[in-house]
Structure 1
């Protein structure tokens, strides 16, 4: 696999202070630059920017698609971690009392693409998925 470039993602939040704490303290992301209405984070090697907005995320009806017997929220974002990192993060989030949309579990068990996954919301309703593959070379495998 070639060297991956970092992605940049900017998301809206209403409560900048609460989301700043969530991404910085709960998820452990180092803070970068910031201004009155936005904050950069090192989101597992990628640049995530939270931007203060007045639009409520909850005003839109949440959508989902069925995957492996669960309703996966649309849209969502996240990171593919190493298996051990994923296990550590899932335990830390449980300790913090995070409410999971989809509890940490193993998806596609025994199949191509077997992966650990979990879904939860940030304080402003943005859906996140963190996953880890049993065999990372199956990240894009079809069968």
Structure 2
């Protein structure tokens, strides 16, 4: 993750540049997106083992990114009851951040395909072992 993580979204492991692009693209207030990202992140940090079992992942610094199918986001949207535009924005932000992590961690042939989605979550030191 780059050093431009906003204080609002740094906790959710989303760069502020990704947040800004997302807010502009979906015409949703950045604060609303940041709040949704933080709430979602609090739950995602407990799902690493399930995601690692089922999905390809990359880790850069203290951020782990997973390449997931669209159905994963369908489930997350339903579980967290995101409004349509907010859900679209949160999914986009996660996917964009995951692409950045994969690009930094892997060769060019490991990049996301058009239909791939991403999920990012912070990791703590114990999970690195």
TM-score (norm 2): 0.30
Q: Which has more radius of gyration?
A: 1
Give 1 or 2: higher strand fraction: 1
TM-score (norm 1): 0.29
Give 1 or 2: higher helix fraction: 2
